[in-house]
């Protein structure tokens, strides 16, 4: 499941911070609304394009 979150920073700043971004803790299942802490299983890297620039982001 993908959960979108707005960091309110530019893509360039997001890419520079990498895995040190302030990723939110999810303590409620968005599907069933159960009060459980969802486990994180690391990061996967992908590409983001803004204008002519290509960024590698987690």
Q: What is the mean pLDDT of residues 37-49?
A: 83
Report the percentage of the chain scoring pLDDT > 90.
43
Sign of CA dihedral 19, 24, 28, 29: negative
Say which range, 11-15, 25-29, 48-52, 54-58, has the weakest mean pLDDT: 25-29
Q: Are the C-beta atoms of residues 7 and 21 closer than 8 Å to each other?
A: yes
Model pTM? 0.71
User: Using one digit for the tens of pLDDT, what is the confidence trace for 10-25?
Assistant: 999 999 999 998 888 8
Domain ranges of the chain: 11-57
User: Distance (Å, rounded) from C-alpha 49 to C-alpha 35?
Assistant: 36
pLDDT above 90 for 35: no
Q: Is 25 exposed, middle or buried (0-12, 13-18, 19+ CB in 10 A)?
A: exposed
Mean predicted lDDT score pLDDT of the chain? 86
């Amino acid at each position: 499941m993908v959960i979108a979150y707005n960091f309110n920073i530019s893509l360039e700043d997001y890419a520079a911070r990498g895995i040190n971004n302030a990723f939110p803790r999810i303590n409620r299942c968005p599907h069933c609304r159960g009060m459980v802490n969802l486990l994180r299983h690391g990061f996967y890297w992908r590409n983001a394009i803004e204008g002519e620039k290509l960024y590698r982001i987690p």
